[in-house]
Amino acid sequence: MDLHLSDEHRMIRDMARDFAQKEIAPIAARYDESGEFPYETIMKMGAQGFMGIEVPEEYGGVGMDTLAYVLALEEISKVDASHGVIMSVCNSLYCYGILHYGTEEQKQKYLRPVASGEVIGAYALTEPQSGSDAANIRVTALLSPDGSHYVINGTKSWITSGPVAKYILLFAQTDPEAKPRYRGVSALIIDTDEPGFSRGKTEPKLGIRASATCEIHFEDYKCPVERRLGKEGEGFKIAMAVLDAGRIGIAAQALGIAEAAYEAAREYAREREAFGKKIGQFQMIQQKLADMKTRIEASRLLIYKAALAKEAAKETGKRYTLESCMAKTFASETAMWVTTQAIQIHGGMGYSKELPIERYFRDAKVTEIYEGTSEIQRMVIARLETGLR
């Protein structure tokens, strides 16, 4: 596995780091406290090219590879995971889906504005009764008698960027009688400014609070057939392929969170004194720091391997599900473990909102849940390894 970073890779990493420190760091705590969506910095991120890193320039992106995306997302998430997940959804879930399965017309009309940062995209798979059971979709999109459009009805839940998205990649049942049910799922591009679409309340979340999340509702929404992505019945296959890409993004987000917590804990261990010594001189603190660093670096290697597998898939067409699931599982659980240890090292100060440690802890938890829980990831990994279902 070649981990050599090119000059371009280092450039986008440094650019993301500089932007995060100058533009996001001063406002992260305030937006976490208020739960407001950080429009201004997200629009600046779009202008810098961070919303379409892997999208070719002819469609409004910057035309770089998956490793470049991972490096940039890691730096953004290290400062604020809310900005990181907004960036991840636009890149990994929305843009990736349109880029790989959309027509030329769809790419020009619905990919370009999101990749160039003009508007925000979202991805709608989860429903109130179907989270991990993603095939159990009940939102319907029934073809009109004249075959010109789909009439959509139903509710999607926990839609990241749902309250602010202009376009949404929606997965709905176009054939509710299909057996098994997932064979009746199709993918559709939704324009949220059209009649029949509405948004529920923004969810009051534990972490990533500046990332807006809500239910979305459809009541006789008319979606032209020209906005279907792929063929009828291919939606579930598209959704799962897109999640392969998305999980690499969440792994990179988790890595950024873990790094931020580790660096804060390391510095605190160098400065804080107890019993006449720096606490970093005590063996139990040293053990925590050593394990934190080791898990972080192991996560990084898994993420980079998944990124390289995704790049190889462009030539071979081979799925990289195993690599993305392993990276996401290990990095997300590392983030949760590292942030827990960081609070312990900080003691009472780690529990205080005066420091960002408790925010890292709150933000880390969701990385074990969205885009496939750790339990689902392990099930997928085991099935791929054994061939048993």
**Residue position matching structure tokens 């070649």:** 2
Catalytic residue check, 323: no
Strand partners, 173: 140, 185
The dihedral over CA atoms of 79, 31, 37, 65, expressed in degrees to the nearest 10, equals 0
Strands (E), the chain: 121-124, 140-143, 149-160, 167-173, 185-191, 197-202, 213-224, 228-229, 273-274, 277-278
**Nearest C-alpha neighbor of 369 from the set 216, 213, 169:** 213
Instruction: Tell me which DSSP letter residue 152 carries.
Output: E
Catalytically annotated residue among 57, 371, 375, 385: 371
What's the CA angle centered on 42, arms 338 and 214, to 5 degrees? Answer: 75
For residue 35, with 0-12 CB atoms within 10 Å meaning exposed, 13-18 middle and 19 or more buried, which class applies? middle
What's the CA angle centered on 51, arms 206 and 207, to 5 degrees? Answer: 5
- What is the set of active-site residues? 371
